[in-house]
Structure 1
Amino acid sequence: MTAKLDVKIDNTIGPRSPGPSYQDLLDKELNPVPDSLRDNTNPYLGSENLSVERYLSREFHEQEVEHVWKRTWQSVCRVTEISEPGDTFVYDIVDMSILISRTEQGELKAFNNACLHRGRQLIDESGNYKELRCPYHAFTWNLDGGFKGAPCAWDFHHIDKDTFGLTDVLVDTWGGWVFINMDKNAPSLQEYLGVLPSHFERWKPENGYKMIHVEKVIPCNWKVGWEAFIESYHAVATHPQILPYTDDADSQYDVWGDHISRTITALGVPSFHLEGLTDQDVVDNMLGVSAMVARPNNALVPDGKTAREYIAQLNADEFSSNHDQPLDSFATNSERMDSILYSIFPNFAPWAGFHPNITYRFRPNGDDHQTAIMEIIVICQLATGAERPKDTPVRRLGDDELFSQAPELGESLGTIFDQDLQNMPKIQKGMKNVKSGELVLANYQEVRIRHFHQTLDKYISGEL
């Protein structure tokens, strides 16, 4: 049954859903609520439409290559994936390739992945190398980028060994992730991330390990895929099975500066679009569908507890061993169960909280602006001093493989991604038939999409 369409209107911020807000739920927390969750920016960024050419045009793609991919900070891998001397990671974006190496002194260095002799790609695959040696003519560099030598050195007396080092790019780390930026004049990563490091200080993503990493080529422009994960508005039509325990319409949306935004969608609470659900209905549906909570047998909601409180306790019991103290002693219900999803412009979206956290990443599939690579990564946190499992390698799904067929994700979580995937090629095709040439956005529920495109425009225009 559909709920009434009355709306809350604040003249300073515009309409909001009439259901209980996320901040209303925080008011019921027993443990102290961190300031990061109380931050409620109430963004309004206008009501302008978007041109479909942003997704369809080859020219627009080439502007992105020049002004975005060459100038922004991008996550490439986990720090633990290149922790030993010689560990080298190859990161490809559009038609560019960057290699990141751990030197013998333990320093991280990043370089354009090209031999300075004849231009062959220097390193083809991530791995551990004693040196960076070109397979074509054996021109060789040290891990720190300094030139080591080449066969028949007598024929290259015009090369100055001291200045023939690899061309480096910026590299830095945050939250256990390695980031690169090809723009030598870019702001520091710390400045770029704005409020993010202070918000995540409580959740310590650097303590985690990569337990799942699945990627797939998807048949749409990378922004079509990206935008499906920075709004919850589509849940009512695309993911109806999660509505009994997902407060989709009352999600909170936030933006900070040009690079950071966030959606918080409360779980363990039925959607405002539904009526008549009991707390037991919420629990039964959540334990049957969600892959992010423990699933005991005979999960009956105790008298005096809400579904949200009960699920939060189940997660505290399940995940406390991953932390230095029991979660119910300090963590809010929200941090134990909700979808707290941040994004870093242009293409990196980590969840936050005290449970295994999904991270999304989208980028063009090579230099093809009509297909993209979608990555789903799950980071599991670890208590101080716990033995760290090895990060799982990426597994690429085939064109005909569904996310729900990936055993790492499981059928219920994978089905959610499959539902998103069903929309993506239809969006790419359908935009060609929008006669106005423009797309319409919600003012609040799709404000992160609007924020993303406004930042994108600033890079293309040279304002950033």
Structure 2
Amino acid sequence: MLEADSRLVPEYLREASYEYLGSAPLHVRRYTSPEFFRLEVERMWPRVWQFACREEEILEPGDVVVYDNAGVSLLITRQKDGTIRAFHNVCLHRGRKLRTRSGWVGDFRCPFHGFTWEVDGRLKEIPCAWDFPHLDPQRMQLPEAKVGVWAGFVFVNVDGKAEPLHEWLAPLPAHFARWNLEDCVTSVWVGKVIPANWKATAEAFMEAWHSVVTHPQILPFTGDANSRYDIYGDHVNRAITPFGTLSPHLAGKGHDDQFVVDSIMKFGARAAAVGAPKLPPGLGAREFLAAANRARYASDTGFDFENATDSELLDAYTYNVFPNLAPWGGFTPNIVYRWRPWPDQDRTLMEVRILARRHKDKPPPKPVPMRMLSEAEPWTDAPELGSLASVFEQDMANLPFLQEGMKVSANGRIELGNYQEIRIRHFHRTLDRYLSE
């Protein structure tokens, strides 16, 4: 239960009737209120594990990634001994950010007065040191955040009391053990600031049944409303959306498996060209498409996928890790979503990565930097996304009007489905736990 101090917690957060895995509504002010956003920044973001970068971004000692989110700025750095550490990106002299860009450094030198720290956070130099006899080098060590690594993802947490990363992620590591995302490299990375709340943006990817209206072009090969949803503890949930099958919305309209194959080949996102894609007698669309992917992935990577299931080669295993990470499982090119408030409750930096598997007999490719789209550029201006770009553009077209609509809502209620939107309910139940403690 959230505390009843009205100076800190607005009334709509203190209503005891909200049971987020039941059928109660949410309030729109969760998405539109500056006060609610302030509570998130003060009570939730400083206590959660956050995906900051991939290991391939910081391969060499001195490589550094600047990670900014919700009132925190960190320097994620590879150390000489190969470990990864994270320091608060603030000069301890006058408070300027030490760095504004990722890259390589020999040390951290403040551009204001030149106070300098070693890459391991130890104080290195104070200009005019005679004027600072009161400063103890031990006290001038850069403050540090906790770091955890899983499957090539580097996480940070500024709460010194935070539970270990593997406990936070459970059972995710066990689920992903077969898929070896640590052997993947970022091959596509596109970001754009969206004029909508970060939660509303993330929630657009927590259910698949919006496809019937938002993505009609994928219905011939996507079982949107037949997705399976699973909840695991506080921090992890999952959707499995089947591909290579008709949407239930098209059932009874005379479409056969050949229609499914022809449609997915035309779309071009889930399978490669396999010559003349005519189904042999007795072979279903899913079996055919999975076999095509099995052969293509083996050719692309040098690995054997004979033990991979058809589902692992076709379907969207979309996991959510609270609060703002969504990695895809399976053996398909793995998509990774991240959402960050940018900078407040009305705007979100949405990032889409695609992880490509390394070839077992070749050096790993270099990761790509993020392409940042301007507000005027559509997602289709990022050709590296392929046919997915049009899907993201359709999703993003909804979100500004969603944010505007919630701000002018007459009853202030968000009514969620009991099953297909259960991951959204789960998300808010976990969020409230942090806001109430």
**TM-score after normalising by structure 1:** 0.88
1:65 is paired with a residue whose SS is helix
Shift of 1:322: 4.8
1:302 counterpart letter in structure 2: P
Q: How does 1:217-236 map to 2 (within 5 A)?
A: 217-236=193-212
Establish whether residue 145 from structure 1 lines up as the match of residue 100 from structure 2: no
Percentage identity across paired residues of the two chains: 48
Establish whether residue 89 from structure 1 lines up as the match of residue 65 from structure 2: yes
Within 2, Cα distance between the matches of 1:409 and 1:342? 20
> Which residue of 240, 248, 256 maps to 2:232?
256
Listed one character per residue, the Cα deviations across residues 389-421 of structure 1 (whole Å, up to 9, x for unaligned) are 0001000011111112211112x2111101101
Q: Contact conserved, 1:207 with 1:383, CA < 8 A, in 2? A: no
Query: Aligned residue for 1:357?
Result: 334
Query: Aligned residue for 2:348?
Result: 372
> Which residue of 436, 439, 445 maps to 2:420?
445
Q: How does 1:369-448 map to 2 (within 5 A)?
A: 369-410=345-386, 412-448=387-423
> Which residue of 278, 282, 294 maps to 2:260?
282
1:186 counterpart letter in structure 2: A
Within 1, Cα distance between the matches of 2:66 and 2:183? 23
Shift of 1:48: 1.2
> Which residue of 115, 129, 132 maps to 1:156?
132
Within 2, Cα distance between the matches of 1:214 and 1:258? 29
1:179 is paired with a residue whose SS is strand
Query: Aligned residue for 1:307?
Result: 285
Query: Aligned residue for 1:294?
Result: 272
Listed one character per residue, the Cα deviations across residues 107-135 of structure 1 (whole Å, up to 9, x for unaligned) are 21101110000000011110100011111
Within 2, Cα distance between the matches of 1:150 and 1:292? 56
Within 2, Cα distance between the matches of 1:402 and 1:91? 25
> Which residue of 309, 320, 323 maps to 1:346?
323
Within 2, Cα distance between the matches of 1:257 and 1:59? 28
> Which residue of 30, 33, 48 maps to 1:57?
33
Structure 2 residue runs of 5 or longer lacking an equivalent are 1-19
> Which residue of 163, 173, 179 maps to 1:187?
163
Structure 1 residue runs of 5 or longer lacking an equivalent are 1-43
Q: Contact conserved, 2:168 with 2:235, CA < 8 A, in 1? A: yes
Establish whether residue 104 from structure 1 lines up as the match of residue 80 from structure 2: yes
Shift of 1:298: 2.4
Moved over 4 A (4+): none
Shift of 1:323: 4.9
| Structure 1 residues 385 and 197: CA distance shift in structure 2, 3 A | farther
Q: Contact conserved, 1:290 with 1:413, CA < 8 A, in 2? A: no
Q: Contact conserved, 2:342 with 2:348, CA < 8 A, in 1? A: yes
Within 1, Cα distance between the matches of 2:210 and 2:224? 9
- Count of residue pairs brought into register by the alignment: 416
Within 1, Cα distance between the matches of 2:350 and 2:92? 32
Q: Contact conserved, 2:264 with 2:270, CA < 8 A, in 1? A: no
